[in-house]
Amino acid sequence: MKILMVCLGNICRSPLAEGILRDKVKKANLSWQVDSAGTSNYHIGEPPHQLSQKVAKLNGIDISYQQGRQFRKEDILAFDRIYVMDTDNYNEVKRMSRALWDENKVTLLLNELYPLENREVPDPWYGTEEGYHRVFQLISDACDVIIEKYSVLNIG
């Protein structure tokens, strides 16, 4: 399995999602590949937001080594599943993918936790540390479902 986590900046939510899923993949002894990207070019090459790093670390996960990158249409081919944090991300990934768009690969991350409800992972960018903790928990719960669901398929 190759999984890509996508948000707007690749600095708050998707770096957390990458770190959290990577941690669970390792603990489950799976050999999946996990990456993240942003639909914008705002933070290319930057490390995750200080509060994302802090909240990850409080939960025993190091994401400090990650570097922001922008989504590219070839990611649709390179990954099996692409999880977006909100509807804007979904529409941007669709627009940027052009002819390579594959709706079977792309879904809102929280649809794993709350199927068909199209809930969003809120953007903590303008908020306080509390928002980052809430985002961590939502993403972690969704990633538990991903591990459970796809590890039984015994892919990768």
Catalytic residues: 7, 13, 123
Q: Is 125 in the site for ligand 4NP (CB under 6 A)?
A: yes
Record the tokens describing residue 135, joined without a space.
Answer: 């985002």
C-beta of 12 vs 143, nearer to ligand 4NP = 12
Residue found by looking up tokens 């900046």 in the block:
9
- Quickly count helices (H) and strands (E) in the chain: 5, 4
C-beta of 14 vs 150, nearer to ligand 4NP = 14
Cα–chain center distance at 128: 20
Q: Is 133 in the site for ligand 4NP (CB under 6 A)?
A: no
C-beta of 114 vs 125, nearer to ligand 4NP = 125
- Ranked by CB distance to ligand 4NP, the top (closest) residue is 9
Q: Is 19 in the site for ligand 4NP (CB under 6 A)?
A: no
Helix (H) or strand (E) holding 90: helix 87-97
Find the largest Cα–Cα distance for the chain: 42
User: Site residues (CB under 6 A) for ligand 4NP?
Assistant: 7-13, 42, 123, 125
